[in-house]
Amino acid sequence: MRFGFIGDIVGRPGRKMISRYLKEIKSTQHLDYVVANYENASHGFGLTPKNGKELLEYGIDLLTGGNHTWDKKDIFSILEEYPILRPLNYPKTTPGKGVHIEEKLNLAVINLMGHFGMPTVDNAFVTAQEIVKELKKKGIENIFIDFHAEATSEKRAMFLMLKKEISAIAGTHTHIGTDDLTIVEGCGYVSDVGLTGCRDNVLGMEEEAAIKAFLTGIPHRFDVPKKCKAILQMVVFEFEKGRCKEAYKIKAYDDEGWEITQKAKVE
């Protein structure tokens, strides 16, 4: 199966890039399933029901979250109705779910959140071991993890711990795409896919607020620019019987079209 993953979608510019390119990419690359991280999709913070429905209509099959999952309080109304995940390692009493099983594809998608600089959650590594073991017992072969974390050390450690048990792991949250796409012992990995949204400012947000915050130490309101240079970034993995056989990055810039920019080194 061919699996596509899109990192943090940031505001309207990110949603526009999904609208412009996803269906074409999904068709030409013969993608069976597409997952995207939604946590910045509505004006940079969280997800509204309207924008959730919009993204699903563009061709995304499942949405994953992170530390901004709860920023829009009306998300509670769609956690059970829409194919939406929140990090699995939130307390068990937290609404929503952190893993989705697509039986027709023998696929499970897990949403996890890291620890450094993040809200307090249950141990991501223990949670990952437990859920992967449970999925394996159910006969699920293809297992993908969106690990929403600040520290690349956490992401890399998670990958090395699970590389023989899962199909792929991709990092989100930092918004900066990394060039370490690789396949090791049949497991695909990239530390961060990178944002889909504005690329000519600070992490998809207007630069003035970020610069003022760094100059003064005083928090400022962050807004998504109304006009900007935009980018779409995604990774495609090919899974076969639980192992990753191929992986490559796709990027699109504004109205210039999309292209395959990097193929994974197989080790």
Residues 172-207: pLDDT tens digits? 999 999 999 999 999 999 999 999 999 999 999 999
Q: What number is the average pLDDT over the span 204-227?
A: 91
pLDDT at 119 exceeding the cut of 90 = yes
Q: Are strands 107-113 and 142-148 parallel, antiparallel or unpaired?
A: parallel
Q: What number is the average pLDDT over the span 79-99?
A: 96
Which of residues 56 and 227 earns the better pLDDT score? 56
Q: What number is the average pLDDT over the span 223-244?
A: 96
Would you put residue 63 in left (φ > 0), alpha (ψ -120 to 50) or beta?
beta
Q: How confident is the model at residue 219 (pLDDT cuts 50, 70, 90)?
A: confident
pLDDT at 11 exceeding the cut of 90 = yes
pLDDT at 265 exceeding the cut of 90 = no
| Domain interval for residue 137 | 2-266
Phi and psi at residue 100, to the nearest 5° = -130, 135
pLDDT at 65 exceeding the cut of 90 = yes
- Confidence (pLDDT) at 13: 97
Q: Which SS3 state, helix, strand or coil, does residue 164 take?
A: coil
What CATH number corresponds to the domain at position 68? 3.60.21.10
Question: Is 43 tagged catalytic?
Answer: no
Q: What number is the average pLDDT over the span 32-48?
A: 97
Q: What number is the average pLDDT over the span 131-160?
A: 98
- Confidence (pLDDT) at 235: 98
Sheet with strand 182-184: strands edge to edge:
99-102, 107-113, 142-148, 168-172, 187-190, 182-184, 265-266
Read off the pLDDT of residues 163-174 as tens digits, 9 standing for 90 and up. Answer: 999 999 999 999
Rounded CA separation 65/176 (Å) = 17
Q: How large a percentage of the chain has pLDDT more than 90?
A: 96
68, 148, 173, 175: the catalytic one is 68
Q: Are strands 243-253 and 258-263 parallel, antiparallel or unpaired?
A: antiparallel
Q: Which SS3 state, helix, strand or coil, does residue 11 take?
A: helix
For the four alpha carbons of 235, 245, 151 and 90, in that order, the dihedral sign comes to positive
- Whole-model pTM: value is 0.96
Q: What number is the average pLDDT over the span 137-151?
A: 98
Q: What number is the average pLDDT over the span 95-121?
A: 97
pLDDT at 226 exceeding the cut of 90 = no
Q: How many domains does the chain have?
A: 1
- Confidence (pLDDT) at 221: 84
Rounded CA separation 250/262 (Å) = 7
Read off the pLDDT of residues 17-27 as tens digits, 9 standing for 90 and up. Answer: 999 999 999 99
